[in-house]
Amino acid sequence: MEKPPLPSDEADTGIGESRSVTELLDLGDPGTSGEAANDRPAWDSKLQYVLAQVGFSVGLGNVWRFPYLCHQNGGGAFMVLYVVLLLLVGVPLFFMELAAGQCIRQGSIGVWKHISPKLVGVGFSSCMVCFFVALYYNVIIAWSLFYLGNSFQSPLPWEHCPINMTPNTTVKECSDSSPTSYFWFRKALDITDSIDESGEFNPIMTGCLLAAWTIVCLAMIKGIKSSAKVMYFSSVFPYVVLFIFLIRGLMLDGALEGIAYMFYPKIEIWGEVQVWRQAATQVFFALGLGYGSVIAYSSYNPYHNNCHRDALMVSCINFMTSVLATLVVFVVLGFRAKTIALNCVTQNLGLLNDMASHGSANHWWPWFNMSDPASVTIPEYREWFRHYGSQVAPNITDCDLDKEMSKGVEGTGLAFIAFTEAMALFPASPFWSTLFFLMLLNLGMSTMFGTMQGILTPLMDNFSLLGRHRTVLTVCSCALGFVIGLLFTQRSGNYFVTMFDDYSATLPLIIVVVFETFAVAWVYGADRFLDDIEIMLKWRPPVIYKYLWKYLCLFAMVGLLLASLLRMAFKRPTYTAWNHTTASETTLEYPGWALVLLATLILAATLPVPVGFLHSWLKNRGTGPDMDPGVELSCQEMRRDSYRKYNNSVDSNLDASTRRAQSEEEEEVGRRPRASFLPLGVDHYRPLPQQEDLEEEEEEDAM
């Protein structure tokens, strides 16, 4: 029997989107069946996806953490060590997460539940860590908004110390430190002397935090469809600013000294365990491993997307961004250090001239031209000071450029103190300050989008009620984040940011990645996982990945976990506090209640792993070995099973629509026997049952 023509308007078929007969019946291609089985959002283009992954992995750590580690750990030697660990550990683990998300097409909870129900807690741990990180990360974005708002004035408010009205003197806390330090600790944070002194809320920072969460909520409210549009700007703009700063910085006096200091290798650091730990930790955090965001983003990819190429490309872009940011930082810090050293020379020459005017000069009088201090170079002055420094007054000091360069500033101190101090020396400093904090804002936002995706995607995938109310879930998550984030806007809030940054993510994430690697390499099976990837990519990745996952990556992550545990066991947790009396930073130990809070954060993020295992074991205690839920279907088998469920639901929908159409027809023409043919267009989606019915009728007639 000839099939009726296809309906011209396929939107009325009752399925929700048109699919050809081939798409519905082709069971041979797991990619096709998976798409049919999953009405899942997708990226509009490959560029959109790459920008999202790059935007998430390239964050504030690339700008202020990586340069600091290079600065403290041997410059070029640390970079070589970092590249080795990136290639042997970082790229394989990053590729593993990309492939798992793209193959299973679920968030972190669904992926590890598919690998083994006993490991479902790994996905929940990832969500918890993402939530903790989102809490304090958005506070850093709020700080960037505050500094951005203060950049639209000239001179910049952190260029000079404020003056007391009565008496007419410089504020002591500022004069004893620096204008940038005073503005950061007193004007921006209004910080207390310790974590024990909570203080009242900072109203300006509270408003900035509300603005930051509002931006995140608006960008995430439509899922990847809305956040991906923002990525076109937030992921690209930082690179434009970094190149502008690099070009401008290379024109500054001291830039070459900064670059030389950066690349000068100190090979001896390779023998220090601490340096290896820091390099491995930086690789781990730079790629965003364990958060679940990498898995969430890749789950929206087409099934046959080349995730191996994506892993190599994103890792390479991430490393090159770190090198670019390090160049910019060292160029600017070189300019800052040389400016400070030259000012030191000028000040000391002025003191020497005063001594000469009082007849105090003798045989140690400098041999260079004292009448023109600007012509005296730093090496000339230091050569003179090396010979006669011990014979002059104690207020005549050495002016060491390397010493100024070695004053490493990490994290927020680099961005909000050292860099702002250097930009205040630039001509048109408000312009450069605005560019810099816009860059920080966009770097933070693109990472924040990925972090929130690591929370929302697994929850929507595994809880259908939440999946049906995406907007409500997003708004409620952001509102909850703002309310809890008020902890960081009190005067002692910076100390809690440090606590969350140091302890709420590091140890739990390492534990998560250890279980991820073990699950793929040993529970699911590395060979089996490579089989799935071969079907996805239509070529088999090198077998070296099998051995990297099973041995090197797993042992490296276990070693990093043990090193972190030993460091916590033998070194009491401390934090850096600001003492307003001495106008300097000091290291303090956390009080007892803070240690309890710290331990609670770590336990809250790691407990889902054993709880999930115990729940699965208790739930299936009586299950026989042949029905062991821990032995899961392979990726393509699961996709085919999903297709069958989808096909059955389509058939039931079609049966229901058929019955409704027939009922309506009977009402129109009166009570009479139903037509023996299905309505036009229905057999487009159910050709096989009709064909079988006709063949049975023919066989009955022949008999």
Within 10 Å of residue 358's Cβ, how many Cβ atoms?
7
CB 195 within 8 A of CB 492: yes
What are the distances in angstroms from CA 182 to CA 151, 164, 195, 428, 580? 16, 14, 19, 22, 9
Strands 574-579 vs 584-589: parallel, antiparallel or unpaired? antiparallel
Backbone phi and psi for residue 587, each to the nearest 5 degrees, phi listed first: -95, 125
State the residue for tokens 């995706």: 453
* Mean pLDDT confidence for 585-606: 91
Of the candidates 165, 180, 237, 253, the residue with the CA atom closest to the CA atom of residue 417? 180
Give percent of the chain with pLDDT exceeding 90: 40
Of the candidates 298, 306, 312, the residue with the CA atom closest to the CA atom of residue 533? 306
Cα gap 501→505, rounded to integer Å: 7
Cα gap 538→302, rounded to integer Å: 13
Four-CA torsion 149, 152, 158, 160, nearest 10 degrees: -150
Q: Please tell me the predicted confidence (pLDDT) of residue 477.
A: 94
Which of 250-264, 405-419, 603-617 is predicted with the least confidence, judged by mean pLDDT? 405-419
* Mean pLDDT confidence for 565-588: 88
72: confidence class by pLDDT, cuts 50, 70, 90: confident
Q: Please tell me the predicted confidence (pLDDT) of residue 329.
A: 87
The type of residue at 381 is Y
Q: Please tell me the predicted confidence (pLDDT) of residue 357.
A: 64
Q: Please tell me the predicted confidence (pLDDT) of residue 92.
A: 96
Of the candidates 240, 235, 289, the residue with the CA atom closest to the CA atom of residue 100? 289
Cα gap 490→197, rounded to integer Å: 10
Of the candidates 326, 290, 328, the residue with the CA atom closest to the CA atom of residue 57? 290
Backbone phi and psi for residue 158, each to the nearest 5 degrees, phi listed first: -105, 15
Instruction: Report which listed range, 174-188, 307-321, 456-470, is most confident.
Output: 307-321
State the residue for tokens 């011990």: 390
Q: Please tell me the predicted confidence (pLDDT) of residue 687.
A: 39
Cα gap 300→107, rounded to integer Å: 10
Task: Region of 671 please: left (phi>0), alpha (psi -120 to 50) or beta.
Answer: beta
Does residue 321 register a pLDDT over 70? yes
Cα 403 vs. chain centroid, distance in angstroms?
Answer: 33
What are the distances in angstroms from CA 589 to CA 490, 568, 592, 656? 20, 13, 9, 68
Cis check for the bond before 30: say yes or no (omega within 30 of 0). no
Which of 244-248, 363-367, 603-607 is predicted with the least confidence, judged by mean pLDDT? 363-367
* Mean pLDDT confidence for 13-28: 33
* Mean pLDDT confidence for 420-426: 86
Q: How buried is 393 (Cβ within 10 angstroms: 0-12 exposed, 13-18 middle, 19+ buried)?
A: exposed
More confident of the two residues 380 and 311: 311
Task: Region of 232 please: left (phi>0), alpha (psi -120 to 50) or beta.
Answer: alpha
* H or E element in which residue 653 lies: helix 635-669
CB 71 within 8 A of CB 404: no
* H or E element in which residue 587 lies: strand 584-589
Reading the block at residue 451, the tokens are 């972090």
* H or E element in which residue 23 lies: helix 21-25
CB 345 within 8 A of CB 259: no
Question: Which residues does 441 contact at the CB level (< 8 Å), separation at least 6?
Answer: 141, 144, 145, 148
17: confidence class by pLDDT, cuts 50, 70, 90: very low
210: confidence class by pLDDT, cuts 50, 70, 90: very high
Which of 32-36, 201-205, 229-233 is predicted with the least confidence, judged by mean pLDDT? 32-36
Q: Please tell me the predicted confidence (pLDDT) of residue 378.
A: 81
Q: Please tell me the predicted confidence (pLDDT) of residue 269.
A: 79
More confident of the two residues 426 and 19: 426
Reading the block at residue 624, the tokens are 């026989």
Within 10 Å of residue 351's Cβ, how many Cβ atoms?
14
9: confidence class by pLDDT, cuts 50, 70, 90: very low
- Got the DSSP string for 228-266? HHHHHHHTTHHHHHHHHHHHHHHTSTTHHHHHHHHH---
Q: Please tell me the predicted confidence (pLDDT) of residue 39.
A: 66
Q: Please tell me the predicted confidence (pLDDT) of residue 455.
A: 93
Give the torsion sign (CA, 40, 44, 45, 49): negative
Length of the chain: 703
Span 332-365, pLDDT tens digits: 888 888 888 888 888 877 777 776 666 555 555 5
Q: Residue 586: beta bridge partners?
A: 577
More confident of the two residues 10 and 274: 274
Which of 28-37, 148-157, 278-287 is predicted with the least confidence, judged by mean pLDDT? 28-37
Does residue 264 register a pLDDT over 70? yes
* H or E element in which residue 576 lies: strand 574-579
Span 643-701, pLDDT tens digits: 444 444 444 444 545 445 554 544 444 444 433 333 333 333 333 344 444 444 444 45
More confident of the two residues 401 and 285: 285
More confident of the two residues 18 and 357: 357
Q: Residue 201: beta bridge partners?
A: 490
State the Rg of the chain over Cα: 32
Cα gap 667→653, rounded to integer Å: 21
Does residue 436 register a pLDDT over 60? yes
Span 121-180, pLDDT tens digits: 999 999 999 999 999 999 999 999 999 999 998 889 999 888 887 677 888 888 888 899
State the residue for tokens 């820091």: 278
Reading the block at residue 430, the tokens are 């408000």
Cα 603 vs. chain centroid, distance in angstroms?
Answer: 22
Q: Round the average pLDDT of the chain to a whole number and report it.
A: 80
Reading the block at residue 607, the tokens are 């407990």
Task: Region of 474 please: left (phi>0), alpha (psi -120 to 50) or beta.
Answer: alpha
